Structure formats: structure tokens, C-alpha cells
């Protein structure tokens, strides 16, 4: 039986080049970066070199990069500290954000800390920019949080256009860029944005490591207290080997970006055509079947009604194929996808997300399509 991993939007395999960088630090680089002796100084040097490297790839200053435990912490830090410390009490988001954003804002609204507005989406799940402008016009200074690419349906947002709109209304703009970081280029000298986020395990780095970009024009207080790490912005001893792995993973991703993007786009197009040919009535959720309007690593498939229904995912798993019924961060919740509900997808039909990486092959896609055809015929 072939083993096929098509859940790369949940997490990716660690690149061997990344492991090779991390292993010597795991073995010998045990010094605390806050210690001023030689062991600590070695670790401090690793962390700061990584910070400079991330900043180089994003065309920002090292002082604007703060290492975190991942994208969820980075989103929470941006939203909670960004709103409270900047004195903003109105937020604008969408109903299809990752829970790291959606639940955080809902929690603040429930506690009466903020007023929360939702921007309209079209029938494909795209943000209606004219409605965003109306919300910005009709409220006090706002905090806008809209993701660059949706983790379930892959819809891409024009964050430059949103950033410019926010700029014109003196709004603060945060974007969850976890799915696009190191898969797309970012130029933070040109992009009008205050906060963006990254998580190493989404681009073949280690889990438990991420970062938050904070534009130097704004100042917030720490989200986690108890130490002076990250220039007094994030208490807790740094994960030195993980930070080094994040930096190397970013190097590899941007070095090979065009080659790997072409390979993954080819796989996605191949799977779209193969599914259409093999399964009558198959459709695609959101913009995921559009290479131009969606994240090239994600394909969200709406299958015809079938007796096996929700068991389709489990049947594929038994056949060695890993996919996702929604966000992996909420697996086992049995609530169904909040994203698919929000865009009006037919919830009586099974939907699966297939997400690709540089390691996937045509043979794996053929095997997956053949197994789906046999299950649904």
C-alpha cells in the first residue's frame, strides 16, 4: 500500500537541510541565550543571526522580528496587545479566519473589550472590499485582521490593497500569513502592514517555532511576562535549535521557491483535471481550483453525495492517504468546517482538503484519484 501525505497545510515534513542545521545545536548548543558566559553567547549569536536572516528575506529590520512558539501565539500577541496597547476598541475580521484570529477576537468581544464587525464575503468566500471600506468609514479607528490565504479553501487576499485602504483610514492592519510565509515573497518596505506572522512547520521547519513582525512605527507591550527575552517583548528562554531551524527552512524555501512552486502547481492542476475526469459532479470549494486566485498548495474538493459521506476521509486514511476535512487545528471537534458553512458550501456533501508540498509526486496523485474513484463509484 502506498503512503501518501496530502495534508501539508496542517504541517510539513522537516527538510533534511534543516535537520542538519538543528542537530549540532541540539547536541552541543545548550547554552541559555540570556547567559553572558561563552556558552550563552554562542546561543545568543545563533538567535540573532536567525533574526537577521528572517528580516533579510522579508526586507525589514531585525528589530521588527520577534520569535514566538508559532503562528497562534503570534496572532494572539498582535491582536490582544495591538488593540489594548494602541487604544483601539473596534475590530474588523471575516467569518472564515483561522481560529487563532476568530476565537481571539470573539473572546475579546464577549468580554466587552471590543466591538467586532464582520466584513461581507462573496459566494466564493472572497472579502468584499467595498464593504470593508464602509466599515472603516463608519467606525472609530479600527484594527483589521484578515488572513493572506485561507487555510481551508486557499482563497488569496490582496493584502497590499487592504493595507493601502487601512492606511487611508489610519487603521491598524494585521494579517495571518502562516499559510503563505516562505511560499510567496514579501517586501515589507513596500507592503503597508503593521503585523504579520509565520510558523516554521508550514514551510518544512520544526514545530513550536514562529515569529511576529511588528512594524517599527508602532509600539506594543509584551503578551507574555516574566523575563526580558526578545528585547523585553516575549518572556521565556528561546528555543535556540528551533529558531535556527526556522531560519534555515526559510533559506531553503526562498532559494528553491520558483522551482517548487512550479512543481506544486503542476500537481494541483493535474489533480483538478484527474478528479473532473474520474468523478462526475465533483466541484471545488471557494477559489481553490483557480491557480490565480488561490494558494497553490491547497485544493478543497466538494464530492457528490455518497452513502459513505463523512467516512470518505477515514476510508482514505485506511488506504494510506492523509487529507483533511477542515483545519487540522480543530480536528476531532465534530462541528464541521466553519469556513465551508460561512461560504454556503453544501454541507450534506463530503468535502476534503488536499494540500501539497515539494515532496509529492504524480504517482501519489494518481493513486489518490484511483482510490477516490473506487470509493465513490
Rounded to whole angstroms, the Cα distance separating 248 from 73 reads: 21
Cα angle vertex 248, ends 243, 252, to 5°?
150
Rounded to whole angstroms, the Cα distance separating 294 from 260 reads: 16
Cell numbers found for residue 181: 510565509
Classify burial at 187, counting beta carbons within 10 Å of its beta carbon; exposed 0-12, middle 13-18, buried 19 or more.
exposed
Contact 14, 241 (CB under 8 A): no
Question: Which sequence positions are flagged as catalytic?
Answer: 329
Helix axes 159-168, 129-137, angle to 10 degrees: 20
Rounded to whole angstroms, the Cα distance separating 200 from 16 reads: 14
Q: For residue 289, give every residue at least 6 positions away whose Cβ sits within 8 Å of its Cβ, in sequence order, or none.
A: 272, 299
Rounded to whole angstroms, the Cα distance separating 154 from 286 reads: 7
Rounded to whole angstroms, the Cα distance separating 205 from 219 reads: 29
Rounded to whole angstroms, the Cα distance separating 210 from 250 reads: 11
Rounded to whole angstroms, the Cα distance separating 154 from 331 reads: 18
Q: For residue 43, give every residue at least 6 positions away whose Cβ sits within 8 Å of its Cβ, in sequence order, or none.
A: 29, 30, 31, 32, 33, 35, 238, 240
Q: In the chain, count H helices and then E strands.
A: 13, 12
Rounded to whole angstroms, the Cα distance separating 354 from 360 reads: 11
From the list 23, 44, 21, 20, the residue with the least C-alpha distance to 34 is 44
Amino acid at each position: 500500500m502506498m503512503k501518501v501525505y496530502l495534508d501539508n497545510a496542517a504541517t510539513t515534513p522537516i527538510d533534511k537541510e534543516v535537520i542538519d542545521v538543528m542537530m549540532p545545536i541540539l547536541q552541543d548548543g545548550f547554552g541559555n541565550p540570556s547567559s553572558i558566559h561563552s556558552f550563552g553567547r554562542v546561543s545568543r549569536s545563533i538567535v540573532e543571526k536567525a533574526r537577521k536572516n528572517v528580516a533579510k528575506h522579508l526586507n525589514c529590520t531585525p528589530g521588527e522580528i520577534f520569535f514566538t512558539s508559532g503562528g497562534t501565539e503570534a496572532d494572539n500577541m498582535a491582536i490582544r496587545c495591538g488593540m489594548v496597547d494602541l487604544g483601539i476598541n473596534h475590530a474588523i475580521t471575516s467569518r472564515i479566519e483561522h481560529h487563532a484570529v476568530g476565537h481571539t477576537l470573539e473572546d475579546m468581544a464577549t468580554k466587552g473589550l471590543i466591538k467586532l464587525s464582520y466584513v461581507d464575503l462573496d459566494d466564493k468566500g472572497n472579502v468584499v472590499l467595498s464593504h470593508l471600506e464602509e466599515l472603516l468609514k463608519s467606525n472609530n479607528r479600527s484594527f483589521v485582521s484578515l488572513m493572506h490565504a485561507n487555510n481551508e479553501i486557499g482563497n488569496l487576499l490582496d493584502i497590499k490593497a487592504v493595507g493601502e485602504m487601512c492606511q487611508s483610514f489610519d487603521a491598524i492592519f494585521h494579517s495571518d500569513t502562516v499559510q503563505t510565509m516562505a511560499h510567496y515573497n514579501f517586501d515589507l518596505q513596500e507592503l503597508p502592514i503593521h503585523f504579520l506572522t509565520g510558523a516554521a512547520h508550514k514551510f518544512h521547519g520544526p514545530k513550536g517555532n514562529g515569529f511576529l513582525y511588528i512594524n517599527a512605527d508602532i509600539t506594543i507591550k509584551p503578551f507574555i511576562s516574566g523575563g526580558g527575552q526578545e528585547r523585553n517583548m516575549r518572556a521565556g528562554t528561546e528555543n535556540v535549535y528551533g529558531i535556527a531551524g526556522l531560519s534555515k527552512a526559510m533559506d531553503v524555501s526562498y532559494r528553491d521557491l520558483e522551482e517548487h512552486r512550479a512543481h506544486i502547481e503542476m500537481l494541483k492542476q493535474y489533480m483538478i483535471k484527474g478528479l473532473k475526469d474520474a468523478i462526475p459532479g465533483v466541484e471545488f470549494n471557494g477559489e481553490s481550483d483557480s491557480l490565480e486566485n488561490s494558494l497553490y498548495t491547497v485544493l478543497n474538493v466538494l464530492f457528490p453525495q455518497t452513502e459513505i459521506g463523512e467516512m470518505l476521509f477515514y476510508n482514505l486514511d485506511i488506504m494510506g492517504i492523509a487529507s483533511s476535512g477542515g483545519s487540522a487545528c480543530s480536528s476531532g471537534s465534530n462541528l464541521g468546517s466553519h469556513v465551508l458553512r460561512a461560504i454556503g458550501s453544501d454541507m450534506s456533501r463530503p468535502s476534503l482538503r488536499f494540500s501539497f508540498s515539494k515532496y509529492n509526486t504524480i504517482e501519489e496523485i494518481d493513486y489518490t484519484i484511483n482510490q477516490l474513484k473506487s470509493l465513490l463509484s
